[in-house]
């Protein structure tokens, strides 16, 4: 096979994304699943037509930096919409919502792992994988559906932040038990550094809005855009260096800009850039997906999907009710939290190299790929049809009118 110039292959892949996204929108579906499918069809596991493989991009590594920028921009915009002022003002309601969601979905995930025959340690990793909703996919879907400014999105995003923090802490603790000879004190110190970084970053975002106001005043849209994207990427990179998810770090930076008068200008100038890099992120997910792995673990993926997504609809809806939403909007919360994604794949990649049993090295990573793909598609479908299915979820606030919502 003749090697094509990299610029040509990337160009063809981007055109394929545009075509697939256009078809998805015409059919009334989210573009996310279409972008992932394109990645599968042009990636290393692409099908062969005759004697010619359709592979254009043999590895996602060539797009990794662009994909990372997609994560940063998506979560930056989420923070832009949901200010720190609102998070602090509504902290009691966010806490109630998070307890309602986490208290059901995390134990349910561990229970699924045990029911599938995994050991306690293996089941704990499965629990983390099926518990953590995809911040990137959910954020993209909230934006696509126009929910981002609605009250249910505030609940969703607040719960996502709590899930990310708990998943990061759980991952760090389980890794200590997995890696033989691990330095427990070193792991504790690493977690402490991460929490310290987040506390400093949140304080800087809350008290530094005035400085951002002055620093980014100027007439040049070009310099303004470079500065905003550069600051977001730099802080996200610093977060990664100390063990904090780049998504969470970018989110906090976005909340800082959300407290300035620059928010509307950022939306106008950078929204198209966000969407471009987000498309590359989902393409990279598809490139890393091997269809053969999906077939091998299809049975356990189906069982886990039915149980955990059903449980998520209930736990997410209860979270919405605990926050104070009506039943229709509460069910939207349950639907929005269904997709799993980037954090689950990070855990799976770690297990594939550090796992100490065949289940940890092979079965669980393969399961994760299939589970993420299925829930990313199913979750976006549920979100689009949330208002049609809300009557099927038997949850409501105590004392609420049966027709509430």
Identity of the highest mean pLDDT range in 147-156, 301-310, 337-346: 301-310
The answer to whether the CB of 144 falls within 8 A of the CB of 379 is no
In this prediction, residues 126-140 reach a mean pLDDT of: 86
Q: What is the 3-state secondary structure (H, E, C) of the chain?
A: CCCCCHHHHHHHHHHHHHHHHHHHHHCCCCHHHHHHHHHHHHCCCCCEECCEECCCCCCHHHHHHHHHHHHHHHHHHHHHHCCHHHHHHCHHHHHHHHHHHHHHHHHHHHHHHHHCCCCHHHHHHHHHHHHCECHHHHHHHHHHHCCCCCHHHHHHHHHHHHHHHHHHHHHHHHHHHHCCCCCHHHHHHHHHHHHHHHHHHHHHHHHCHHHHHHHCCCCCHHHHHHHHHHHHHHHHHHHHHCCCCHHHHHHHHHHHHHCCCCHHHHHHHHHHHHHHHHHHHHHHHHHCCCHHHHHHCHHHHHHHHHHHHHHHHHHHHHHHHHHCCCHHHHHHHHHHCCCECHHHHHHHHHHHHHCCCHHHHHHHHHHHHHHHHHHHHHHHHHHHCHHHHHHHCCCCCCCCCCCCC
Find how far residue 119's CA is from the centre of its chain.
Answer: 27
Q: How far is the C-alpha of 220 from the C-alpha of 27, rounded, in Å?
A: 39
Q: How confident is the model at residue 405 (pLDDT cuts 50, 70, 90)?
A: very low
In sequence order, the β-bridge partners of residue 53 are 48
pLDDT in the model for residue 181: 46
Q: Which pLDDT does position 386 carry in this prediction?
A: 86
Question: Which of 12-16, 50-54, 71-75 has the largest mean confidence?
Answer: 12-16
Average pLDDT, the chain: 83
Residue 106 is predicted with a pLDDT of 92
Does the structure show a pLDDT above 50 at 177? yes
Average the pLDDT over 183-191 and give the result: 66
Model confidence band, residue 391 (pLDDT cutoffs 50, 70, 90): low
Mean pLDDT across 180-186: 57
What pLDDT sits at residue 82? 66
Q: What is the pLDDT of residue 3?
A: 67
pLDDT score recorded for residue 361: 84
pLDDT digits (tens, 9 = 90+) for 193-252: 778 888 898 888 888 888 998 899 888 989 999 999 999 999 999 988 887 778 778 888
Higher local confidence (pLDDT), 243 or 128: 128
Given a cut of 70, whether residue 184 has pLDDT beyond it is: no
Which of 247, 236, 244 is CA-nearest to residue 190? Answer: 244
For 322-339, write each residue's pLDDT tens digit. Answer: 988 888 899 999 999 999
Domains and CATH numbers, the chain: 10-392 (1.20.1530.20)
Give CA–CA dist 334/319, Å, rounded.
Answer: 8
Taking each helix axis from N to C terminus, what angle separates 91-115 and 298-323, rounded to the nearest 10 degrees? 160
Cα atoms in the Cβ-side hemisphere of radius 13 Å centred on 318:
15
If you average pLDDT over residues 155-170, what whole number do you get? 82
Band of pLDDT at residue 366, cut at 50, 70 and 90: confident
Over residues 160-187, mean pLDDT? 71
pLDDT at 402 over 50: no
**pLDDT reported for residue 294:** 76
Residue burial 9-34, b: 16+ Cβ < 10 Å; e: rest? bbeebeebbeebbeebeeeebbbbbb
Q: How far is CA 56 from CA 1, 6, 42, 102, 279, in A?
A: 11, 9, 5, 41, 17
Q: Stretch 184-192: mean pLDDT, rounded?
A: 68
362 closest CA partner among 353, 371, 373: 353
Q: Are 397 and 404 in contact (CB under 8 A)?
A: yes
Range 136-162 average pLDDT: 83
- How many Cα atoms sit within 13 Å of 105 on the Cβ side? 35
Measured between alpha carbons, how far is 20 from 17 in angstroms, rounded to an integer? 5
- Range with lowest mean pLDDT among 124-128, 133-137, 166-170: 166-170
Q: Which residues pair with 52 in a beta bridge?
A: 49
């Amino acid at each position: 096979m003749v090697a094509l110039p990299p610029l040509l292959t990337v160009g063809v892949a981007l055109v394929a994304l545009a075509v697939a996204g256009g078809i998805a929108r015409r059919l009334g579906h989210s573009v996310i699943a279409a972008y992932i499918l394109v990645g599968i069809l042009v990636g290393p596991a692409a099908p062969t037509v005759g004697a010619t493989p359709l592979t254009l991009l043999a590895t996602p590594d060539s797009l990794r930096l662009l994909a990372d920028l997609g994560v940063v921009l998506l979560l930056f915009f989420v923070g832009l919409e949901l200010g720190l002022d609102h998070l602090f003002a509504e902290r009691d309601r966010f806490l109630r919502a998070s307890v309602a969601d986490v208290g059901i979905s995390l134990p349910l995930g561990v229970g699924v792992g045990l029911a599938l025959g995994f050991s306690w340690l293996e089941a704990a990793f499965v629990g983390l994988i099926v518990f953590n909703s995809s911040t990137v996919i959910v954020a993209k879907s909230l934006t696509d559906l126009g929910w981002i400014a609605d009250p249910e999105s505030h609940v969703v995003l607040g719960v996502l932040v709590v899930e990310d923090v708990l998943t990061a802490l759980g991952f760090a603790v389980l890794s200590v038990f997995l890696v033989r000879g691990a330095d427990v004190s070193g792991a504790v110190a690493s977690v402490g550094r991460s929490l310290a970084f987040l506390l400093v970053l949140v304080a800087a975002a809350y008290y530094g809005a005035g400085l951002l106001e002055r620093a980014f005043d100027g007439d040049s849209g070009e310099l303004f855009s470079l500065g905003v994207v550069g600051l977001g990427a730099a802080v996200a990179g610093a977060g990664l260096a100390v063990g904090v998810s780049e998504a969470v770090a970018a989110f906090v930076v976005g909340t800082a800009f959300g407290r300035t008068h620059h928010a509307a200008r950022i939306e106008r100038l950078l929204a198209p850039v966000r969407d471009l890099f987000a498309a590359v992120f989902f393409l990279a997910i598809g490139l890393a997906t091997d269809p053969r792995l999906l077939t091998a673990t299809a049975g356990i993926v189906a069982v886990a999907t039915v149980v955990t997504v059903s449980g998520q609809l209930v736990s997410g809806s209860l979270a919405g009710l605990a926050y104070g939403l009506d039943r229709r909007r509460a069910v939207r919360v349950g639907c929005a939290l269904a997709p799993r994604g980037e954090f689950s794949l990070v855990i799976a990649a770690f297990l594939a190299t550090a796992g100490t049993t065949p289940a940890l090295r092979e079965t669980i990573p393969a399961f994760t790929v299939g589970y993420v793909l299925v829930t990313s598609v199913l979750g976006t479908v549920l979100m689009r049809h949330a208002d049609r299915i809300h009557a099927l979820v038997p949850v409501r606030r105590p004392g609420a009118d049966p027709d509430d919502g």
